[in-house]
Structure 1
Amino acid sequence: MNQVDRFKTLPDNARIQAIGNLFKYNDRKTWDIGVNIENSTRKALKFSQLPYLSRQVVLNQTVVAMPLGFPIEFVLPDRLSWQTATVRDCGLVKFQSRDEQSQNCFKFESGGKTIYLPQLELARALFFTNNYLANAALINSALDLEFDVDHNPNNDDKEFPLDLVINALPTTQCPKILFDNEGFRHQIAWLLLNSDVKNSFGSIYRYFSQERVTAPNVERWTFRFDPPQLEGVKVAARGWKSADESTWFINRIELLDGLFFPDVSDIGYLHPNFIGSRPDSGKGKGGTYPQLPTQREIDENSDGSEDNESALIFCDATQRIYNRVPRTRKFYARHKTDSGAKEDKDQPSVLPPEVSTDDPNTRGDVPRAAVDGLDDQTDNAHLYLNKFDSFFKMLGVLEKEHGVKLSEPLIRKLPKYGYSKKHLMSNGDSPRCLVIVYLEYQKRSFFLLEVDTSDGKNSLATKIVPVHSTKFKREFWQEVPKIALELIRNKLSWPQEHLDKLIGKGNHKSVPHQKSKKNGRLSEVEIEKWGKRLQREIDI
């Protein structure tokens, strides 16, 4: 694990040894959470920084460091079988502070093992993937006050008909930049549309409002909540185990696999600060935001300023996989008046290195940042096959007129790499995909590789790879993830050097796309021309 951004007042390689209660001093607006950190006298961080905080996680890494503990995988049972317990009941946690030992856990049996799962850690993995949702959990009915779900949207887009629209209301504190992450769009819909999940999220505030204890100068609360039904969800985690491995304490959840998503096909998202280009320009974007230095310092003490749009910072992400997900896209209530218009005319192009994870308020003096701690691994690439409509029509011509045999296409979303946005279409909504088709004709076979450039962002030819043996065919399928990564690292160009090593120099060909008056949309005549050019290259 490798956290890029730094906590301003923490030392290098600061390992979290324990996590305690939430508390707030009467002269402060925001809540803190008790933490014990190795080699540091600091005893608390902000609750809004919870996406970073799991036991044994290392902050301010100068070398890559995995959390201490042992890996474990288990399946969550029916929540009716879950019991409540404390860290002390487990007996595996050596750090003996009173706050740590009194933290609430869920206790259940799975695969012959007794699992102690801290309630705060489960809530972090389910909900607190960013600072916005951490802050919202401590506000009464925050989701209802900030979002409206329109189940009968007025939409006539034949390519992307919307089942519903999620509107972020004008009063929302949710940073618009989070919606650039398809995984966040899935998560906020999962929260709003799954009543069991929404009730679980709401239970955090219910307990918080009922159970926090007020002293003369401070309020305190021991975190707890009601979990949603997670029966059958697979968990990958790290933690401590007893000598006979029958009892486990979970330090950090790394993957949740099998989360239930409602059966919805197409969801649109509208935010009051979304601004796009004029329709059909092919350049729609969610607006600009100030850029940050390469390395950022998270100021643990400062509130967020109201004077800037949130810029994105990253923490070690928890992976999640749903049983299904919809197609999602942003759309825009406002558009730029001209190509040179800027969304934030008065904002600086570069922010100072210090940022705050708290919601903006009048006392804030440090630019606000949005934490992205979510890695959605749900396989939904098949939802974007329609983006290759012209490509498949061209292959259909070859199949019909020349007897070519085509395999079922493999479609893969291009991976995120660093801060590059090349893995997204230029509108920032859809993932950019790579499709691979296996083609056979007269005892010869080929792989055809096509990248979706229908947004006109790049001009990338169709790649032809001849297949000379069954072994090569099998090995090539295994190389697809590497090719997808190299495409992004090579700034959305075919990685010639990598392909030369894999296939042999001169053994792969490229067929430029057929030119069209409209990006990504070919007429029947243009499709015929494209097919003939590809036909000549494979010498049918």
Structure 2
Amino acid sequence: MKIKNFPENSRITFLGSIFKENKQVNWNINIGLENHYTNSADYQKYMIKHARFSNMPLLAKNRRFNQTKEIPLYNESIITIKIDDFKNWQITTSKSGQYLFSHIVSDLEETYKNIQIHLPHIELARVLFFHNAYLSRAALTQGKLTAEYYIVPEEHQTTIHVHEFCGFPSYQYDNVGMRRLLSWILLDTEARASYESISKHFLSEQFRTKTQTFWNFIFAPPSLRGAEITMKVYFSEKNEQYYVNEIIGIANLPTDISNEVIFCNPNFTVKNSYEKTGGSSGGRTSANDDPTIDDEKEADSDRKIIKIESPKIAMFLASPYETKKATLKRSGKKGIPNQNNDVEILPDHGVSTGETTIFGEIGRGEFENVQDESDDLEFFMKRFEAFKVMIEQFASQHRIQPIIHVHKLPAVNRSKLHRTHDGNPRCIIEVQLSFQSKKFVILEIDTSDNLKPLSTLIVKISDTDSWNSHFPTFRKQVVKRSLRWPTAKSLLDIGIRKTFNHPRNLAEMAESDEEFKNWRIRLEETLLSLS
């Protein structure tokens, strides 16, 4: 990670006040840095620098920047605690006036029992909300979400209409994790109130001098009852208490959202969602050599967005829900969506993170900080319903017990084929069974977006453990080969492969159809030919 005005091999020691010059627009945050030893004559071990507040996805205590050599690791412990209710946590302040949540906790492994822990307000807000530059900037502007998103709740789904001039990066609607995070902020009652509490405190509590305006970050957190937070902490021998440096994951994140969520915008297109060439989507260029963030220059609004790689925060929703992208066939008057609109679901290096201008000099940078790891495979199982019914009928006929799993295909290099056109994970269903005293694996890939027809694959295996060990590599090969099955040669040490065609119009097929019956017959014939 590189920020231009930070020294080489620097480490964040604290995050301070948020401020701006009264004649300027951009808000910044003061940052304490430890400058690792250098032979420079003007060597200064500790210093205070600043960065734009839009860089918050990167800014956590003890993170290092502009590294040119390996530096010994700072002494930290990783612990996971279960939250009772953040409303029960005491609010205290550090010596520098920054707000902390303080509480007596025990970790889930009971290694640390009844310890006093201090969690900075800004770090909790960072992992809940500040997952890109837009969400960081928008948190300081009252009414920003209301102005840019129009929400239409319906019986079985919620449609979120995105304003034409909304500043959220359009390509990030293709990311399932970012869609879920944004919809959680917009729709979850506690999350929305918590996010909007930031701008309320910001407007009412900032103080002004002749040249600058300051604010110490504080907000009202959601209760997060039952959530499990994993964090890096250090122990202060002087105070005999623990202090949180960084939160690295949140599991069982509570939500009151239960319906499917659809993001809708007349400007959303198939091209934004997916490019068959495997190139970058939405006009974005991929991160090349870890671009340097330059806070002294403005970003050019006409330039393509460069994705800035940053450490991902693993987040698991307690009750995941499906999200999609859609476009409107007709628009309402004056930009207000018409309830009669037809919603069409879509087949889904220096940079600056500040607001863009047409006079900007350098590229546009954006973070994509969330890694959604919610257990949502149940949503994708329905794409294999016909296949699953066919397998179960075959198994029942021959009195065998198949083992059925659905897996997500992995991201491989710059390929986008691990996602379907609607931005959801592309999945592969794996069936393991024994037939005629032989072991087989049957595999089918989700091509519900009609990308390309792909036959069903059967692999006769001799050893289940060898197959299970090879399967992660197998899934990567499928993506590398542009959704084609790995070659027979690559499976020589694993088993013998054979394919057979599935019926056309699979999604519309009924069990009583002759084509469905023939499909089951072809499965049996293929298995017999390998026995």
TM-score interval, normalised by the smaller of the two chains: 0.7 to 0.9
Displacement of 1:436 in angstroms is 1.4
Distance 1:194 1:168 in 2: 17
Displacement of 1:387 in angstroms is 1.7
Give the corresponding residue for 2:200.
206
Give the corresponding residue for 1:307.
302
Give the corresponding residue for 2:141.
139
Displacement of 1:38 in angstroms is 3.2
Candidates 183, 187, 200, aligned match of 2:181: 187
Displacement of 1:196 in angstroms is 1.2
For residues 424-469 of structure 1, the C-alpha deviation after alignment (integer angstroms, 9 at most, x for no partner) is: 01x142210121122233444322222212334355443334454x
Candidates 373, 377, 395, aligned match of 2:373: 377
Distance 1:287 1:43, change over 3 A: closer
| Other structure's SS at 1:378 match | coil
- Opposite residue 293 of structure 2, the aligned amino acid is I
Candidates 468, 475, 495, aligned match of 1:484: 475
| Other structure's SS at 1:537 match | helix
Give the corresponding residue for 1:340.
none
Identity of aligned residues (%): 25
- Opposite residue 332 of structure 1, the aligned amino acid is T
| Other structure's SS at 2:199 match | helix
Give the corresponding residue for 1:168.
162
**In the alignment, structure 1 residue 533 sits paired with structure 2 residue 522:** yes
Distance 1:177 1:149, change over 3 A: same
Give the corresponding residue for 2:383.
387
Give the corresponding residue for 1:120.
122
**In the alignment, structure 1 residue 80 sits paired with structure 2 residue 98:** no
Counting only pairs closer than 5 Å after superposition, residues 238-387 of structure 1 correspond to structure 2 as: 238-242=232-236, 247-276=241-270, 288-292=282-286, 294-295=288-289, 296-308=291-303, 310-333=305-328, 353-361=349-357, 364-387=360-383
* Residue pair 2:456, 2:502 contacting (<8 A) in 1 also: no
Displacement of 1:475 in angstroms is 6.3
Of the structure 1 ranges 17-26 and 487-496, higher mean CA displacement relative to structure 2 is found in 487-496
Distance 1:377 1:62 in 2: 32
| Other structure's SS at 2:30 match | strand
Distance 2:242 2:488 in 1: 47
* Residue pair 2:226, 2:254 contacting (<8 A) in 1 also: no
Displacement of 1:248 in angstroms is 1.4
Distance 1:73 1:428, change over 3 A: same
Of the structure 1 ranges 237-246 and 178-187, higher mean CA displacement relative to structure 2 is found in 237-246
Distance 1:253 1:519 in 2: 45
Question: Unaligned stretches of 5+ in structure 2?
Answer: 36-43, 107-113, 331-348
For residues 226-275 of structure 1, the C-alpha deviation after alignment (integer angstroms, 9 at most, x for no partner) is: 11011221111112124599731110100001111224232111134312
Distance 1:32 1:244 in 2: 31
- Opposite residue 239 of structure 1, the aligned amino acid is V
**In the alignment, structure 1 residue 462 sits paired with structure 2 residue 462:** no
Of the structure 1 ranges 183-192 and 474-483, higher mean CA displacement relative to structure 2 is found in 474-483
Candidates 505, 511, 515, aligned match of 2:493: 505
* Residue pair 1:138, 1:205 contacting (<8 A) in 2 also: yes
**In the alignment, structure 1 residue 25 sits paired with structure 2 residue 13:** no
Displacement of 1:102 in angstroms is 2.5
Of the structure 1 ranges 375-384 and 449-458, higher mean CA displacement relative to structure 2 is found in 449-458
Give the corresponding residue for 1:410.
405
Distance 1:320 1:121 in 2: 15
**In the alignment, structure 1 residue 438 sits paired with structure 2 residue 438:** no
| Other structure's SS at 1:74 match | strand
Of the structure 1 ranges 438-447 and 183-192, higher mean CA displacement relative to structure 2 is found in 438-447
Give the corresponding residue for 2:338.
none
Distance 1:141 1:235, change over 3 A: same
Distance 1:497 1:64, change over 3 A: farther
Distance 1:474 1:304, change over 3 A: same
For residues 347-401 of structure 1, the C-alpha deviation after alignment (integer angstroms, 9 at most, x for no partner) is: xxxxxx222112224553333232101101101011011222342243245235x
Distance 1:273 1:359, change over 3 A: farther
| Other structure's SS at 1:77 match | coil
**In the alignment, structure 1 residue 217 sits paired with structure 2 residue 211:** yes
Displacement of 1:479 in angstroms is 5.4
Displacement of 1:334 in angstroms is 5.9
Displacement of 1:474 in angstroms is 5.5
Distance 1:448 1:52 in 2: 43
| Other structure's SS at 1:508 match | strand
Distance 1:535 1:63 in 2: 60
Distance 1:14 1:109 in 2: 32
| Other structure's SS at 1:264 match | coil
Displacement of 1:532 in angstroms is 3.3
Distance 1:62 1:463 in 2: 48
- Opposite residue 408 of structure 2, the aligned amino acid is K
* Residue pair 1:23, 1:32 contacting (<8 A) in 2 also: yes
Distance 1:521 1:418, change over 3 A: farther
| Other structure's SS at 1:30 match | coil
Paired residues, what number?
487
Give the corresponding residue for 2:38.
none
Distance 1:246 1:494 in 2: 58
Give the corresponding residue for 1:45.
51
Candidates 99, 108, 120, aligned match of 1:104: 99
Distance 1:493 1:413 in 2: 16
Displacement of 1:526 in angstroms is 4.3
* Residue pair 1:176, 1:273 contacting (<8 A) in 2 also: no
* Residue pair 2:98, 2:216 contacting (<8 A) in 1 also: yes
* Residue pair 2:158, 2:259 contacting (<8 A) in 1 also: no
| Other structure's SS at 2:523 match | helix
Displacement of 1:168 in angstroms is 1.1
- Opposite residue 226 of structure 1, the aligned amino acid is A
* Residue pair 2:249, 2:313 contacting (<8 A) in 1 also: yes
Of the structure 1 ranges 173-182 and 239-248, higher mean CA displacement relative to structure 2 is found in 239-248
Distance 1:481 1:85 in 2: 47
Give the corresponding residue for 2:153.
151
Distance 1:120 1:43 in 2: 17
Distance 2:431 2:237 in 1: 51
Give the corresponding residue for 2:132.
130
Distance 1:443 1:196, change over 3 A: same
* Residue pair 2:82, 2:229 contacting (<8 A) in 1 also: yes
Distance 1:231 1:176 in 2: 32
Distance 1:334 1:498 in 2: 48
Distance 1:357 1:223 in 2: 20
| Other structure's SS at 1:201 match | helix
Distance 2:401 2:285 in 1: 46
Distance 2:514 2:469 in 1: 36
